[in-house]
């Protein structure tokens, strides 16, 4: 499966830092990080924000994006963009193994909250971080087998809502 990200068409635009959760392959716990994100002039559905997740999970990997929706305590859908890579030769990601026991994910993963009117927005507080962990667990449950069997090539773009 080819990478699912297209290069940003924007030039000469200063990035804005947007908070996210990083499940780094070298860290036993998730980390709150800032992802440089290009905010295009005239931002819209057709000109969305462009998060440079490579700056936090590394470059030189096939990066895959997947959208996962979870319900908050009021029953509203909160969507998260999960960007990740799976690299067979890497050690098992301990932070992800803590989210879903027995997970043998080999690579890093970053989670950004999607906004109602923008592609990605700040992660927000503890409740959104907890929802992000639920989204990651759903992602791993749904796709760990496909990712490991295909060495990271068959990661889907979204997980159907429950």
How wide is the angle at C-alpha 90 spanned by C-alphas 136 and 133, nearest 5°?
10
148 phi/psi in degrees, rounded to 5? -70, -35
Half-sphere exposure (CA, 13 Å, Cβ side) for 137? 12
Convert the pLDDT of each residue in 82-122 to its tens digit.
999 988 889 999 999 999 988 888 899 999 999 988 899 99
Of 44-53, 56-65, 70-79, which gets the smallest average pLDDT?
44-53
Separation between Cα atoms, residue 145 and residue 123, nearest integer Å: 28
Of 20-29, 41-50, 88-97, 131-140, which gets the smallest average pLDDT?
41-50
* Chain length of the chain: 162
Run of H or E including 85:
none
Confidence band of 162 (pLDDT split at 50, 70, 90): very low
Domain range summary for the chain, segments of one domain joined by +: 16-149
DSSP conformation class of 105 = -
Separation between Cα atoms, residue 135 and residue 141, nearest integer Å: 10
DSSP conformation class of 59 = S
């Amino acid at each position: 499966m080819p990478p699912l990200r297209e290069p940003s068409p924007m030039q000469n635009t200063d990035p804005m830092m947007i908070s996210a959760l990083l499940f780094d392959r070298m860290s036993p716990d998730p980390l709150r990080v800032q992802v440089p994100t290009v905010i295009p002039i005239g931002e819209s559905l057709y000109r969305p924000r462009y998060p440079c997740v490579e700056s936090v999970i590394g470059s030189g990997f096939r990066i895959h994006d997947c959208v996962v929706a979870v319900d908050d305590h009021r029953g509203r859908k909160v969507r998260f963009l999960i960007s990740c890579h799976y690299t067979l030769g890497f050690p098992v990601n301990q932070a992800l193994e803590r989210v879903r026991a027995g997970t043998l994910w080999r690579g890093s993963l970053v989670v950004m909250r999607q906004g109602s009117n923008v592609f990605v927005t700040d992660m927000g507080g503890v409740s959104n971080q907890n929802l992000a962990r639920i989204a990651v667990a759903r992602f791993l449950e749904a796709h760990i087998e496909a990712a490991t069997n295909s060495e990271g090539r068959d990661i889907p773009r979204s997980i159907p809502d429950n």
